[in-house]
């Protein structure tokens, strides 16, 4: 058993920022990366970086990054290292146009786009003949929880894990726009705007930079670009229909949600969701501190959430045919 989480810092912003910039290691000499392009449609392909352990893998893990991240995001790299050392195969998936893959896809990603991940999981299950588990971080967490609800009682995915997931997109976007979160809001918005500029070169018929400078918030960005491009109409409708909270009641496979009560970007109140509390397949693990994707521990293991999730995976895969009877809320300190 790993120890309860004791944060390196108690300030959630400091944990969030430190967690983002902390040096992470992935030994690609010991675990070399293979580049695998998955063709989703005639106009959409996505790239995953694939690693296998040095001995036979126990299962295959598909990892999804967060908003404006990539397969090379630090938290995916260090989690991959820990997972590979524990005997798991790892597939670090770039969401559409992320990680320098703008030319592979006509359209960019959105917070509820599950079809790509399902196609990737189907391919991996066919190739490896092993259990496939899907793990998402931040925005990727919303994607994998929505995916679990859509699939319901499925044999395709053995289990799902979401770390710091924004399951109520509207509430979380409003939280990002609070004055205390201005640094995060600017960083995200600047990167989203840069993506539009790049897409205006590869897909000028879909993406225009006209009026882009006047977009002042993520809500405005989604209202102008994301929602219309994917047929949602408005940002409000996009958030309403694509939030994972709407799909939690239909989750039937073992599912873990890890979040911090002091997450500045994901208000803890959104997890007081009746569908979550009533669903025995879902375990909610909440720490008092941790920030957003922070979880830097004062003592080893430094990247506490990785070992916590891997320990949960061990238990789930060991009891692969069993189902939970009631959701758990762990007070983890």
On whether residue 6 sits in a domain, the answer given is: no
159 close to 63: Cβ distance less than 8 angstroms:
no
Q: Are residues 116 and 235 in the same domain?
A: no
On whether residue 3 sits in a domain, the answer given is: no
Q: What is the pLDDT of residue 319?
A: 75
The whole model's pTM is what? Answer: 0.94
Tell me the DSSP string of 53-107. Answer: -SS--S-EEEEE--TT--TT-HHHHHHHHHHHHTT-EEEEEPPTT-SS-GGGBSS
On whether residue 5 sits in a domain, the answer given is: no
Q: Are residues 155 and 79 in the same domain?
A: yes
Cβ neighbours for 312, distance < 8 A, ≥ 6 positions apart: 161, 256, 283
The candidate with the shortest Cα–Cα distance to 202, out of 108, 98, 109, 102, is 102
The last residue of one of the domains, among 178, 209, 242, is 242
The last residue of one of the domains, among 242, 275, 291, is 242
Tell me the DSSP string of 102-141. Answer: GGGBSS---TT--HHHHHHHHHHHHHH-S-EEEEEETHHH
Residue 50: alpha-carbon gap to chain centroid = 17
Q: What is the pLDDT of residue 3?
A: 74
On whether residue 125 sits in a domain, the answer given is: yes
CATH of the domain at 252: 3.40.50.1820
Pull the structure tokens for residue 317.
């895969």
Q: What is the pLDDT of residue 320?
A: 64
Q: What is the pLDDT of residue 200?
A: 93
Q: How many domains does the chain have?
A: 2
The candidate with the shortest Cα–Cα distance to 329, out of 271, 269, 270, is 271
Cβ neighbours for 150, distance < 8 A, ≥ 6 positions apart: 114, 247, 250
| Rounded Cα gap, residues 312 and 89, in angstroms | 16
Tell me whether the omega of the peptide bond preceding residue 254 falls within 30 degrees of 0, making it cis.
Answer: no
Q: Are residues 40 and 157 in the same domain?
A: yes
Q: Are residues 198 and 313 in the same domain?
A: no
The last residue of one of the domains, among 212, 242, 272, is 242
On whether residue 2 sits in a domain, the answer given is: no
Q: Are residues 193 and 236 in the same domain?
A: yes
- Domain hosting 41: range is 12-166+243-331
On whether residue 1 sits in a domain, the answer given is: no
Taking only the tens of pLDDT, the chain with its 333 residues reads 667 899 999 999 999 999 999 999 999 999 999 999 999 999 999 999 999 999 999 999 999 999 999 999 999 999 999 999 999 999 999 999 999 999 999 999 999 999 999 999 999 999 999 999 999 999 999 999 999 999 999 999 999 999 999 999 999 999 999 999 999 999 999 999 999 999 999 889 899 999 999 999 999 999 999 999 999 999 999 999 999 999 999 999 999 999 999 999 999 999 999 999 999 999 999 999 999 999 999 998 999 999 999 999 999 998 764 444 334 444 443
Q: Are residues 265 and 129 in the same domain?
A: yes
Burial of residue 22 (number of CB atoms within 10 Å: 0-12, 13-18, 19+): middle
Q: Are residues 68 and 209 in the same domain?
A: no
């Amino acid at each position: 058993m790993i120890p309860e989480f004791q944060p390196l810092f108690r300030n959630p912003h400091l944990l969030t920022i430190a967690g983002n910039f902390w040096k992470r290691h992935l030994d690609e000499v010991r675990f070399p990366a293979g580049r695998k392009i998955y063709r989703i449609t005639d106009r959409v392909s996505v790239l995953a970086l694939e690693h296998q352990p040095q001995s036979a893998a126990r299962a295959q893990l598909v990892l999804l990054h967060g908003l404006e991240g990539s397969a090379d995001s630090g938290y995916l790299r260090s989690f991959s290292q820990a997972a590979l050392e524990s005997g798991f195969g790892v597939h670090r998936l770039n969401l559409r146009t992320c990680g320098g893959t703008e030319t592979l896809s006509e359209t960019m990603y959105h917070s509820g786009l599950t079809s790509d991940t399902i196609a990737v999981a189907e391919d991996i299950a066919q190739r490896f003949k092993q259990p496939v588990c899907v793990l998402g971080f931040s925005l990727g967490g919303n994607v994998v929880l929505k995916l679990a609800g859509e699939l319901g009682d499925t044999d395709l995915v053995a289990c799902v894990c979401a770390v710091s997931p924004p399951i109520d997109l509207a509430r979380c976007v409003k939280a990002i726009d609070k004055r205390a979160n201005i640094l995060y809001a600017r960083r995200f918005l600047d990167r989203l705007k840069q993506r539009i500029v790049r897409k205006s070169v590869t897909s000028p018929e879909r993406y225009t930079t006209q009026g882009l400078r006047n977009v002042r918030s993520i809500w405005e960005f989604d209202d102008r670009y994301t929602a219309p491009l994917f047929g949602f109409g408005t940002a409000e409708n996009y958030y309403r229909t694509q939030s994972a909270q709407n799909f939690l009641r239909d989750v039937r496979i073992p599912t873990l949600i890890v979040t911090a009560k002091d997450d500045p970007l994901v208000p803890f109140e959104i997890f007081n969701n009746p569908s979550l509390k009533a669903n025995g397949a879902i375990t909610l693990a909440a720490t008092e501190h941790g920030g957003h994707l922070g979880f830097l521990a004062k003592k080893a293991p430094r990247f506490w959430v990785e070992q916590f999730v891997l320990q949960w995976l061990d238990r789930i895969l060991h009891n692969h045919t069993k189902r939970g009877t009631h959701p758990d809320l762990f007070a983890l300190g």
